[in-house]
Structure formats: structure tokens, C-alpha cells
Amino acid sequence: MANSTIRTELCDMLGINYPIIQAGMGPFSTNRLAGVSANAGVLGIVSTSGFGYLRGSAAQMETGAAQVVKSLTDDLGGTWQEQLKRALRRVEESCREAKGIFGINVMVSSEVAEFAREVIRTTIELREEDPEIKDRLRVIITSAGDPLPLTDTIKSSGLKWFHVVPSVRHALRAERAGVDAIISSGQEGGGHVAWEPVHTIVLLPAIVRAVNIPVIGAGGFGTGASLIAALALGAAGVQMGTRFLATKESEFHPVHKDYILKGNERDTIVARGVVGPLRWIKNEAAVDFTRLTVEKAPGVFLGEPEDLADVAREVRAKEDEGWDAQFRGDGPKALMPGGEVGGLVDDIPSVKELVERIVKEAEDVLVNLPQKYLKD
């Protein structure tokens, strides 16, 4: 037992040391975060949603979005596809020595479907051009949309394919699309949440029961004990977003990290955001934005999905202002995604320290539980 650690089928499938995924978190690229996470033995994920900014013009650099662009590339030359390839090459170089494994997250909702296809195509092309990348970049995590139209493209690429879902119905559709694993996205999570909310404690085992492929828990995970809870519910591992955001290396603004650090478990709120309901850190801007959502986009609270095209201009303008303030680090005016698990975050460690702590806690819990509760 002395040298044993926690391993699951997720570790075997991807060649990672621990059954933990550092979540993709846009719009920052999470390049650096993905590299250090891969080096720490978990799956590092590069978020690709921010590359949409590079389709714009140099004018983007005049706004707060300049901070996002800086996190994506240090060289604005060439097309955004070339910049994406350069960024992925840099991540691979940063985790080559430790043989880290990483992947990309692509949001595939209908509003961004064409861009998503191009991100996927560019990534597959890069893997074919570069054997080192092919070896290290092993996974694509799609989210926020329908996986079925992507089956042919992704399945023929040799990438492992995970899809994020908020319900059993969506999980069955993803299984039908041919994904290799499902990520169960519980309502406590930071960022996008479901039109019809279900929390991890019910959603995760319901999906495990319904499908015949590995399931990964997401939404509310941040500790070793919760990793063991996920395994007890039948998961093959966990994906953590908010917990990895609040680390030294993550690209997010220090003000964003500070809100997570100081907040408690009640300091988040759900309002409209990007393509649907989104969990924000509860500050002045988020409370105002929630009021506006109640008035102008009540479907968020009634489980009635509405297209982005139908959302009032006022709501979209207010959200844009909030993102811009986030990039600038303007605390009270900033809209900052974050999960309930922020209430359990009480430091900003390096990723290596965080992973070591989570794994140690998980091992201790696993060893101690039988001693404590299995009685003759």
C-alpha cells in the first residue's frame, strides 16, 4: 500500500497519473495553466473559445480584450488558425520534459458552430503535421452543443473525445455520437449551467446508471474528499474549473482569483451569459445583471431556452461591459464566472501544490473510510 495511489480507467485511457481534469475556462486560453497541469500529472486543457477574438482586428487590442489576446499569443502575426497552432505547440513544449498530456476544450453551440468546426479541423491538422503534438495532445472536450454532427470528423482523427452534458438525455445522445467519455456538468459549477438545473449529487449517478462508457464528474469538485465521493458515485474521475482558476499560474486576473478566495459558498448567482444560463461570482455587477435577466430574459429561470439572437440588445451590451471590466480587473463592475466550490477555496497555491494536496487527501480518505466505518 505504501506506494499505491489512486488510478482509474481515465488514467489508463489517457496516460495521466491522476484521475483529474483541469477544466477548460474561456475566454483566456489557459495555455500556461494547461502546461503546468499536464506537468503535475493531471489532464491539462487549453480553452479555445478566446481564439474567436483573434478573428477580429487589431482594434480588439484597444479594449480590455487585449488581456485575453495576450494570454493567447505573444505574436499577432498570421491568421488565428496559425496562432492557435503556435499556442498548442508552446503548450506541448512546456510539458514535453514531464511527458504531460493535454487536450483542448471547444464550445460547439449553434451560435459558434462554424468557428468550432474550424478549431477542431485546425487542431487535427496540427496533430498530423507534428508527431510530438500527436503524442501529447490526446483529447478534445466538446461542450454546450450537439455532438452528433461532429462524429465523423472527430472519430476518424484518433483523438479521444469527451462531451460535457447537463442531463441523462444529453448523455445518451453523446454516447450515440460515439464519445469516449461523458462529463456530467452539475449545477454548482462555474461558467455555463443548464436550462433545467440538476446538481452533481443526483446528476452524476443518474448518468453513470444510464450509459456504458466512463463518466467524469464536474461541478463542485475541488478537494480530495470530493474526488473520492465522485468515485463512490461511479465516476472515473473529476473535472475541476474554479479550483484551478484560483492558482498562481492560471491566466485569470488576480482580482478574479481574489473574489474566489474571499467568497463563501453562497457568493455565486445564475444569470444569462454568452449562450445560456451562467453561474457568476456574486458582486455588484452580477446582481444588477441578474435583475436585468429576470426582466428581459426570464427563460433562464423558467427552464425555457431562448436563442442568443432573441436576447434583448440591452442584456448583451451589459454582459459585454461586464466581460470587459473582468479583463481589466475592475472588481465591482466585472462579470466573473465562478462555481459554488469557491466557498472551499482558501488559498492560491501553485498547481503542483494543489494537485499533490488533492491526491494526498484523496488517498487518506480512501484509507481511513473503511477503518472508520467498516465494523464487525
Ligand X SMILES: Cc1cc2nc3c(=O)[nH]c(=O)nc-3n(C[C@H](O)[C@H](O)[C@H](O)COP(=O)(O)O)c2cc1C
Give contact residues for ligand X (rule: CB under 6 A): 23-26, 47, 49, 105, 107, 143-144, 164, 185, 188-192, 218-221, 239-243, 245, 337-339, 341
Per the CB < 8 A criterion, the answer to whether 217 and 207 are in contact is no
Minimum CB–partner distance for residue 132 and ligand X (Å): 26
d(CA 36, CA 95): 7
Tell me the closest approach of the beta carbon of residue 141 to ligand X, in angstroms: 7
The least distance separating ligand X from the CB of residue 3, rounded to whole angstroms, comes to: 29
Query: In angstroms, what is the minimal distance from the CB of 260 to ligand X?
Result: 9
Nearer to ligand X, 264 or 368 (CB): 264
Whose Cβ is closer to ligand X: residue 19's or residue 191's?
A: 191
CB of 101 to ligand X, least distance (A): 17
By beta carbon distance, the residue nearest ligand X is 241
CB of 100 or CB of 222, closer to ligand X: 222
| Cα R_g (the chain), whole angstroms | 20
Q: How many CB atoms lie within 10 A of CB 311?
A: 19
The three-class DSSP label of residue 280 is strand
State phi, psi for 143 to the nearest 5 degrees.
Answer: -155, 165
346-360 per-residue burial string, b: 16 or more CB within 10 A, e: under 16: eebbebbebbeebbe
Burial 173-212 (b: 16+ CB within 10 A, else e): bbbebbbbbbbbbbbbbbbbbbbebbbbeebbbbbbeebe
| Cα 77 → chain centroid | 28
Least separation in angstroms between residue 241's CB and ligand X is 2
Q: How far is the CB of 375 from ligand X (least distance, A)?
A: 34
- Of residues 1 and 228, the one with the C-beta less far from ligand X: 228
Q: Which is nearer to ligand X, 8 or 105 (CB)?
A: 105
Rank residues 134 and 173 by Cβ distance to ligand X and give the closer one: 173
Q: How far is C-alpha 268 from the chain's CA centre?
A: 17
- CB of 48 within 8 A of CB of 119? yes
Query: What is the nearest approach in angstroms of ligand X to the Cβ of residue 274?
Result: 8
Q: What is the DSSP string of 50-64?
A: GGGGGGS-GGGGGST
- In contact, 22 and 43? CB cutoff 8 Å: yes
Cβ neighbours, 10 Å, residue 47? 26
Nearest distance from residue 340's CB to ligand X, in Å?
A: 7
Residue in this structure with the C-alpha cell 456574486, named with its chain if needed: 282
Closest to ligand X by CB, 11 vs 341, is 341
> Which residue number, 8 or 226, has a Cβ lying nearer to ligand X?
226
Q: Cα 33 to chain center, whole Å?
A: 12
Q: In this complex, which beta carbon is closest to ligand X, that of residue 266 or of residue 313?
A: 266
